[in-house]
Amino acid sequence: MTRKGAARRPEKTEPTVQLTPDEIAFVRSLVIYEDPDILALNKPSGLSSQGGRGQVHTLDELLWAFAKPGKARPRLIHRLDRDTSGVILTARTQPAASFLGKAMMARRFSKTYQAIVTPGAPQPKGGVIDVPLRREEQGREAYMRVCAPDHPDAESARSRYRTLAEAPGAALLELDPETGRMHQLRVHLAHIGRPIAGDVRYGGALVVGGQPAPRLMLHAAALKFPHPSGGEKRLTAPVPPDMAGLIAALGLG
């Protein structure tokens, strides 16, 4: 509320990011679904969702390619790790963003991932990993660590898994995180002795069955959520070629 006669301060607006034609074409090529409320993309590995360092634009910044003149860009509803590929959801409008944000807080989102792990299928081949995690800072890097439930920084974390295929030295898992802690699936799988291939941070192998695993082999394959206009929506994204190639080479396809 302003004093009578006082000038109202202008609202702060976020500056528009200037994108090149190649960047616009690139981010538009990632779209897997769009309607007036939402926009979903298949994020490639190596692209930061937000807060990236260096000169390369993040996905959040690339979303300016979808902004209408004088309007804000679509808003990210959740994030994926830089090296994780797959479905990522944005809201086109403020009401849609509010609706989806509340639905996520209420755990009405269902996420399904696929991962290549070593040195084989977990035992048992399906189950729930219910182990608390805590955040640890090392310089400019953040890690998650398993911890005791009574640790002062403990956060509850639950991950469901099942084995889709196995071969000597590797397995393909389907993963359903019930909570959304940073690096949750990566740390939980490392905790049970089945780190994700290519996950240098948490002990993943860089060579699997004689085949290179040059990056984190974790893919967000499907996302189910309540749609702002009613009903439920399930979106899927195909496994990227490099991960699909490794799956085939290992005989996990």
Split at pLDDT 50, 70, 90, the class of 16 is: confident
Using the predicted structure, report yes or no on whether residue 73 has a pLDDT greater than 60: yes
pLDDT of residue 52: 63
Residues sharing a CB contact under 8 Å with residue 150, sequence separation 6 or more, in sequence order: none
Structure confidence at residue 229 as a pLDDT band (50, 70, 90) = very high
How would residue 9 be classed by pLDDT, with cut points 50, 70 and 90? very low
The reply to whether 242 belongs to the active site is no
80-136, pLDDT tens digit by residue? 999 999 999 999 999 999 999 999 999 999 999 999 999 999 999 999 999 999 999
Give the pLDDT score at 37. 98
d(CA 253, CA 250): 8
Model confidence pLDDT, tens digit, residues 179-205 = 999 999 999 999 999 999 999 999 999
Query: What are the residue boundaries of the structural domains of the chain, listed by start?
Result: 21-249
Range 246-253 average pLDDT = 96
Q: Which of 60, 81, 83, 199 is catalytic?
A: 81
How far does the chain reach from its first CA to its final CA, in angstroms?
Answer: 62
pTM: 0.91
pLDDT, one tens digit per residue, over 47-65 is 999 986 665 799 999 999 9
Q: How far is CA 67 from CA 27, 56, 74, in A?
A: 12, 19, 7
Q: What is the CATH number of domain 21-249?
A: 3.30.2350.10
